């Protein structure tokens, strides 16, 4: 995909929900050939790169293959079979040793081009949309991630909301900086922050699934800041639901949800860009 500013075009390759743990290294290499052939100036990776057993290896494959910047966030699958704390420490150490990898959860706004900046955070579903109390949805997250396993429902909700609150604190600190220095902010995240962007097979997720696939606290944060800068605009790039859709939240806030199929990663396309 190409993202355009008023005066300059910068080519960014957006990947989401690649789940490289479903592929062998030769298959990953073949997919990265396609990424390379798109001739990007930077790569955006929106989480669910693999699982905890493969995320370090997959990040290293990306780092070794490309000499351009790779900006990424993590998704829920990246923590499977481990803990959030352990994976985040590992990823932090990998980035410290890499010249190409930037974990956006730990980064200030990135000036991509004249008039455009990039921010990001993996975020987390916070149970605040939909009907969490009556939902019987049981994601693998709640069994395979240490911080979320072996918890009663109300205890799990508390941890989910703590994780989501961490994301909104990050956006609260960096989004004003990005808006002050650029006209267009690209926000890379994993979890759809808006219910309108929580697509599943062409429809918005229902009240039983919304608590597990959207993040209300980040919605409130992004909407608040964008209402204070009506002359600026934001494009949010997210995934997680494996279904594509476009949501125009307000005149200056657009959310694009990427699609995915396990075992068949694809370069994402932004409609109308």
46 contacts: CB under 8 Å, gap ≥ 6: 14, 15, 16, 17, 72, 73, 75, 188, 189, 190, 237, 238, 239, 258
Please state the length of the chain: 273
pLDDT along the chain (273 residues), means of 10: 49 95 95 95 96 95 95 98 98 94 97 90 97 97 97 98 97 96 96 94 94 96 95 96 94 95 92 59
165 contacts: CB under 8 Å, gap ≥ 6: 126, 217
- Return the C-alpha torsion angle 268, 10, 108, 266, nearest 10: 10
List the strands of the sheet with 245-250, edge to edge: 110-113, 116-121, 184-189, 233-238, 253-257, 245-250
Amino acid 273: pLDDT: 54
Establish if 43 belongs to a structural domain: yes
User: Residue 47 region, left (φ>0) first, then alpha (ψ -120 to 50), else beta?
Assistant: left
Establish if 223 belongs to a structural domain: yes
Establish if 267 belongs to a structural domain: no
Amino acid 4: pLDDT: 40
Amino acid 272: pLDDT: 56
Amino acid 5: pLDDT: 39
Question: Hey, is 18 helix, strand or coil?
Answer: coil
Establish if 265 belongs to a structural domain: no
Return the CA Rg of the chain: 17
Distance in angstroms (rounded) separating the CA atoms of residues 226 and 135: 32
Please give the model's pTM, rounded to 2 decimal places. Answer: 0.94
Domain that holds residue 87: 2-257
Establish if 201 belongs to a structural domain: yes
Establish if 264 belongs to a structural domain: no
Specify the number of domains making up the chain.
1
Establish if 234 belongs to a structural domain: yes
CATH number at residue 53: 3.60.21.10
- Return the C-alpha torsion angle 263, 256, 81, 168, nearest 10: 170
Amino acid 271: pLDDT: 66
Distance in angstroms (rounded) separating the CA atoms of residues 201 and 89: 35
Distance in angstroms (rounded) separating the CA atoms of residues 55 and 265: 15
The single-letter DSSP state of residue 130 is S
Amino acid 179: pLDDT: 96
């Amino acid at each position: 995909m190409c993202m355009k500013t008023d005066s300059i075009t910068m080519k960014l390759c957006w990947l989401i929900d690649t789940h490289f743990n479903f592929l062998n290294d030769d298959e990953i290499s073949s997919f990265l050939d396609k990424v390379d052939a798109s001739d990007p100036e930077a790569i955006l990776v929106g989480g669910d790169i693999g699982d905890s057993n493969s995320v370090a290896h997959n990040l290293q494959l990306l780092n070794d293959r490309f000499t351009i910047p790779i900006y990424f966030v993590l998704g829920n699958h990246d923590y499977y079979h481990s803990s959030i704390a352990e994976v985040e420490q590992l990823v932090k150490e990998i980035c410290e040793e890499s010249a190409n990898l930037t974990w956006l959860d730990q980064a200030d706004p990135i000036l991509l081009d004249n008039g455009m900046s990039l921010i990001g955070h993996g975020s987390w579903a916070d149970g605040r949309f939909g009907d969490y109390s009556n939902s019987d949805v049981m994601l693998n997250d709640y069994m395979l991630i240490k911080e979320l396993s072996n918890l009663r429902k109300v205890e799990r909700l508390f941890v989910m909301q703590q994780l989501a609150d961490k994301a909104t604190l990050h956006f609260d600190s960096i989004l004003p900086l990005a808006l002050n220095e650029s006209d267009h902010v690209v926000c890379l995240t994993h979890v759809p922050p808006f219910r309108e962007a929580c697509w599943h097979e062409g429809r918005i997720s229902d009240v039983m699934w919304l608590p597990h696939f959207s993040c209300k606290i980040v919605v409130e944060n992004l909407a608040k800041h964008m209402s204070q800068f009506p002359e600026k605009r934001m494009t949010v790039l997210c995934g997680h639901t494996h279904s594509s859709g476009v949501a125009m939240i307000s005149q200056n806030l657009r959310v694009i949800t990427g699609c995915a199929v396990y075992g068949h990663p694809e370069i994402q396309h932004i409609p109308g860009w």
